[in-house]
């Protein structure tokens, strides 16, 4: 079994903007969702269907390219977000 949606803490980098990330991912063929059930800023990536190593690599590359395109230098979340991850 696996979760249907996997949450990721949003980068603390000031260049990060969820709407821009969502648009960039959509342009690459992937849809992502804003995190609605977390205390801190996050986004979710679905993992429904046939997810193989090639697909995981494609998603990872799409996220990397999208963040670079936005000018995000670090994908690290804010320290406050890390402190809140236990309640997630």
- Decide if 45 is inside a domain: yes
Sheet of strand 42-46, all strands in order from the earlier edge strand to the far edge? 5-9, 42-46, 32-34
What is the domain-level CATH number for residue 25? 3.90.1150.10
How many domains in the chain? 1
pLDDT per residue as tens digits for the range 24-83: 999 999 999 998 777 788 999 988 888 889 999 999 999 999 999 999 999 999 988 888
- Decide if 87 is inside a domain: no
What lies within 8 Å, CB to CB, of 1 at 6+ separation is: none
- Decide if 40 is inside a domain: yes
- Decide if 53 is inside a domain: yes
- Decide if 24 is inside a domain: yes
pLDDT at 12: 96
Domain that holds residue 29: 5-82
Strand partners for 32: 45
- Decide if 88 is inside a domain: no
pLDDT at 52: 87
């Amino acid at each position: 079994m696996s979760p249907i949606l996997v949450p990721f803490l949003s980068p603390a980098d000031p260049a990060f903007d969820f709407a821009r990330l969502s648009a960039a991912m959509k342009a690459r063929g992937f849809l992502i969702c804003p995190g609605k059930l977390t205390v801190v800023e996050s986004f979710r990536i679905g993992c429904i269907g046939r997810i193989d190593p090639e697909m995981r690599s494609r998603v990872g590359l799409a996220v990397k390219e999208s963040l670079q395109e936005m000018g995000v230098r670090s994908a690290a979340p804010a320290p406050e977000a890390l402190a809140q991850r236990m309640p997630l």
